[in-house]
Amino acid sequence: MAFELPPLPYAQDALEPHISANTLGFHHGKHHNTYVTNLNNLTKDTPLADKSLEDIILEVAGNAEKQGIFNNAAQVWNHTFYWHSMKPNGGGAPSGDLAAKIEADFGGFDKFTEAFKQAATTQFGSGWAWLVVENGTLKVTKTGNADTPMAHGQTALLTIDVWEHAYYLDFQNRRPDYISTFLEKLVNWDFVAENLAKA
């Protein structure tokens, strides 16, 4: 059973004017789709072809001979998670249990924002910044290339893609502006709260 490209959870132009339909067209339709195609080619006629994405990621993580499979499986998972981390008219501050947890673990929403911006800005080259839960505590982390929190015993709650292809058409080299826009206008805190409730 081949892996398939999941549809975006909103229309391709739904995040405008912050992230353009052009960016999402390339990012979802080309980049994300290529990881799906590569993963299918790499797992075809192997026992991995019938496993879930999560099982594949956990099984091949740290195996140098299977780095290609890890990279493509993790990138398929990371991108689907990233689309859901955003929504039209998102951003701002969370509420309820999530807000209380951020207050308790970071010492305030501003402290979280600062840490997340710092991680996303300083990820050198391609990668991701994350809000995760590790041993019951919220943490901000960053990963290089395709790397993903589940490979490190962490549960992802929120991510931002800081590969250049995520922002270059809309923000050119201004990664910090993309990160601020993500936090102020796009974050889907409902998705983050659902992930925390399941963690």
- The reply to whether 161 sits near Mn ion by the rule CB under 5 A is yes
CA–CA dist 61, 92 (Å, integer): 35
Helix (H, G, I), strand (E, B) or coil at 64: helix
| 173: phi then psi, degrees, rounded to nearest 5 | -85, 5
- The reply to whether 163 sits near Mn ion by the rule CB under 5 A is yes
Nearer to Mn ion, 138 or 141 (CB): 141
Shortest distance, position 165 Cβ to Mn ion, whole Å:
5
Q: Strand runs (DSSP E) across 40-174, as ranges?
A: 127-134, 137-144, 155-161
DSSP line for 22-45: HHHHHIIIIIIHHHHHHHHHHHTT
Nearer to Mn ion, 112 or 163 (CB): 163
The contact pattern for Mn ion, residues 109-148, with x = CB under 5 A and - = no contact, is ----------------------------------------
Nearer to Mn ion, 138 or 166 (CB): 166
Candidates 5-13, 124-132, 157-165, 190-198: pick the segment binding Mn ion (CB under 5 A): 157-165
The number of angstroms, rounded, from the C-alpha of 28 to the middle of its chain's C-alpha atoms is: 13
Nearer to Mn ion, 79 or 185 (CB): 79
Contacts to Mn ion by CB under 5 A: 161, 163, 166
